[in-house]
Each structure stands twice: as structure tokens, then as C-alpha cells.
A and B are shown apart, each in its own frame.
Chain A
């Protein structure tokens, strides 16, 4: 018995050491990024690991005062939220129909949508570039909207049909007896019921769209239309030597998603993992 106890504690020590070591490996780079964004250049070089001797906000000030950071930040917020709102709308409608329409077309369409889970849209980039040119959307961040909505449809349908299937049929019958129309049932009964699923879908796509570089890079040339990540991608060329400013921009750029993550890490992890597991 004594031996068993000893084994367990040794196991626990190894376990905690490994996990702590990795946590350190995660936190250290982020720590270095954040603390050095408050230092003057000389100090960044001299003592990169220490807290700043005096907080220097010049990096942040220059980001806000003489750069397009706020504009790009706003562009990113607009395109991210517009895309997510549309994804939630079209996929909740489609999922409602997939579950409720007892027809072969419905199940075929469901398979058709889910096939998109396995095909990364980047493969179609060349044609999308051409299409955006034809539609005269090129050079505006709105060109990202239909692409992002399309990217969100497979995951949206996957998560929402799963949830709608669990809604008891009796509820629809009750709604119909009360004289609710099909759309009224969707609006007043279904949408409130599937809120957790809508949140999951939204969270997955906040990360995907906020952090996306590929599509802005190929579709947007116009400087005023850049998303935040596209703006950040030009950072090194422009401010090669101003490390305070680079670090401040990187910190600010990752801030929104990390905050959402820290506030709701459980839903976040569940969301990002859900798509993979159910595949």
C-alpha cells in the first residue's frame, strides 16, 4: 500500500512538471512580447526578460496616433461580425429545413454542405480572385464577405443540425396548434433554443476570420481597405527597427481574440474541437 502511494505521487510530480514546463513555454514568449512593448529600444536589448524599469507608452501611442491601426481594426471588426451574422442566419435556416423536411433532397443537401468540411476553400483561390474582379468587389474588404460566409456554412450546418435534432417534435406540434407559422416557429421558438449552438458557431469563426491572412492578402490591394492582419503583415517592412512599436501592434492585434478566449475558454475549446470530433 505504501509503495502504491509513493508511485502515485511520483507520477503526479512528473505530470505536474511536464504540464508546468509547457505552460512556461507558452507564457514566456507572450510575456516577452507584452513587457517589451512597454520598453524603450535600448532596454529591449539590454534586459529583455525583466519588467520595464519605467513604463514607456510610446509604442502604443505611435500605433494609435500615426498609423492606420484603428482603421484596420475597425475593418476587421466589421467584416468579422457581418460574416458571422450572415452565417448564423443562413445556416440556422438551412439546418431547420434539414431536420424538419422529411425528404431525400434534405438529406442529400445536408451531405452536400458537410462535404465542404474536408475541402479547404484556399484551393479555389485563383477562381475566387477572378470572380471578385468580375463582381467588382476586388480591393474592398466586402469581397471577403461571401467567401467567409461560404466558409462558415459546413461547420454551421454541422453544429446546428446536431442541436436542432434534439428539439422534441412535440414542441413544433404545440407551436402549430397555437397557430404559429413555420417561420414564426423558427423565429420565436427555435432560435432561442439553439442559442448555445449559435454561440459556438460564432466563436469558431471569430478566430478564423479575425486571424485570416490569406484571403485579405490575395484580394485587397487598397491600403484603406486592409484588415488588421493584412496591416500587420506589412509591419516588418515599415517599422523594421522600431521594435517597441512592432511588439505593441502584435499585442494589440492578438488582444481581442485572447480576451474572448480567457472569458469563455470552455465554450471556445468545445467549439474549436467540435467540428473535428464529429467528422
Chain B
């Protein structure tokens, strides 16, 4: 009996973390899911409406246009990160693997440096740099090729890609370090054996490294997906809360903020039920996305 008591008193070591975690993580997320089925005035959601919020978000022309626009833009944002940020990450990791010594750690520090900046600082800084009035980037771009000197953030065709590229500039250090760590864990004799067999660099990459880092690609894809579907700060800093020009950079994060928290133009009153619905959908996308990525990148025998 005494032993049992002694054992169960372990529970008190859990208690502080458990209470905080339940009240401020589990509860809010569960409640956001629940609130997506309700409507009311302000935070007083008293009317159960079933899937009405979802229907409005998907089909009500007044609301759905912005939702689908933000949804599509988020995919573009995500794809640019996958193509640019994560491809560069694999490239840099391979280069850093060969670059040892002092310079190796210098380059590593440089590649990771932007990831330590606040997204807000990155966004504001690049917004200034890209400002045609100041023209730092315009000046440098014009020196490379006159066609490159354009108001990249001002055009609705190029603004989203520009913002995605700057976000990739900031975060490329994370996939680089993850890939580097996994490449460093590949035993050296594998490369030595390959070198003796006269295998080319590309073959080593394609047949040895890539299959071995395959699960890690999954991890990176999941991180990118989760990060991008919750992104907010970079668009807020560079294009404002409406994802300008004309909603061309509006992503789910900014859309969620407007509709659920700040209030969408021109009404200006947040619709808490719809906001909760957007949050629930993001939750659903994340769940499905993570599942899919796991299936595709699982280790194969």
C-alpha cells in the first residue's frame, strides 16, 4: 500500500504541466473545432448551426471568394518553399558536408542567421529594400539586368512569389541543418566504397544519399507544410493585413486574422464562428497533409 502511494505521488510531478497544457492547448483547440458549428453575436456563440459556417465559407459568394483566394495563395506559398527553400536546403547541406573547418562553420552560421531574425524585421527590412522610392534592390537588379528592376511587391502578379522567396531566404537554414545532420549520420565507408567503384557524384547523391534521407525529406515537408499553413507575419509585414495588392498575397493566416479576429473589410466586425471554421479547416488540412506526407516518405524496405 505504501509502495502504491509512493508510486502514484509521481502524478504530482505531472500536474503543473498537465493543467497548463490542457487549459491552454487542448481546450482552446478543441473549442475552436466546436465553435465552428455555432453562430451568435460577438463571442457569445449560442446558436448551433451545423455545417452552415462551412457552407458559407465554401459557397457563399460574399465570403467564399476571399477564402478560396487565400487557400490557393497558401498553396503557392507552400510550393515555392518546397521548391526553393527545401531544394536549396538539400544543396547547402551537401556543400556544407564537404566544407569542413573554419569556413564550414562560417557558412553554416551565415545560412542560419536569417532564421534568428523576427519575421517582422525580415519583412519590414525587405519591404524597404524593395521600395522603388529608395531603390537599393532596384539599383542592384538594374545592374544585373534592366528587366529585373521592377516594383516586385507592387505587382499583383509578382508580389506573392516575391514574399514567398523572401520567406525562403529567411528559413532555408532549418532544412539545411536538418539535412546536414542526417547526411552526417550516414556511415563514411558507404561513400568510400562508392568512390572505389568509381561512382560519380550525381550517382552517390541519387542512389545513396537521397534514399537514406528520404524520411528526413518527409520531416522537412511536414515542417514546411505546418509552418506555411499557419504563416501570417511575413504577409502582414510586407503586404499588410489585406494581403495587398488586391488580396494577391492574402493567405489563410491573414484571412483568418481578418475574418475571425479583426473583422473583414468593409464590415469591420469579426465573425467568430467563421473564424473558428477557418481554424478548424487549417487543422484538418494539417492533419491530412501530415498523413499524406508520412505515407509518401516512409522508409521502404
Identify the A interface with B (CB < 8 A): 11-12, 15-16, 18-20, 22-23, 25-27, 29-30, 32-33, 44-45, 48-49, 89-91, 93-94, 96-98, 100-101, 103, 105-106, 109, 112-113, 116, 118-131, 133, 146-147, 149-151, 153, 157, 182, 207, 210-211, 213-214, 217-218, 229, 232-233, 235-236, 243, 246-247, 250, 253-254, 257-258, 261-262, 265, 268-269, 272-273, 276-277, 279
Contact across chains for A257 and B17 when beta carbons are under 8 A apart:
no
B207: interface (CB < 8 Å): no
Contact mask B1-36 → A, CB, 8 Å, 1/0? 000000101110110111011011101110110010
User: What separation, in Å, do the CA atoms of A44 and B107 have in the docked complex?
Assistant: 29
Would you call the interface of chain A mostly helix, strand, loop, or mixed?
A: helix
User: What separation, in Å, do the CA atoms of A275 and B265 have in the docked complex?
Assistant: 39
Contact across chains for B21 and A113 when beta carbons are under 8 A apart:
yes
Contact across chains for B118 and A130 when beta carbons are under 8 A apart:
no
Contact mask B216-233 → A, CB, 8 Å, 1/0? 100110110010001011
**Shortest CB distance A51–B (Å):** 15
Can you list 14 A-B pairs with a CB-CB distance of less than 8 A?
Answer: A19-B95, A19-B107, A22-B92, A90-B16, A106-B10, A109-B18, A118-B226, A123-B280, A124-B29, A127-B27, A127-B276, A153-B21, A213-B236, A272-B115
Contact across chains for B111 and A26 when beta carbons are under 8 A apart:
yes
Would you call the interface of chain B mostly helix, strand, loop, or mixed?
A: helix
Contact across chains for B282 and A214 when beta carbons are under 8 A apart:
no
Among B10, B25, B27, B256, the residue within 8 A (CB) of A100 is: B10
Contact across chains for B20 and A150 when beta carbons are under 8 A apart:
yes
User: What separation, in Å, do the CA atoms of A151 and B51 have in the docked complex?
Assistant: 30
Contact across chains for B25 and A150 when beta carbons are under 8 A apart:
yes
Contact across chains for B17 and A153 when beta carbons are under 8 A apart:
yes
Among B18, B177, B201, B286, the residue within 8 A (CB) of A269 is: B177
User: What separation, in Å, do the CA atoms of A94 and B7 have in the docked complex?
Assistant: 14
Contact mask B266-294 → A, CB, 8 Å, 1/0? 00000010011001101100100010000
Q: Provided the pairs A89-B16, A125-B279, A146-B23 are in contact, do residues A213 and B124 lie with their beta carbons within 8 angstroms?
A: no
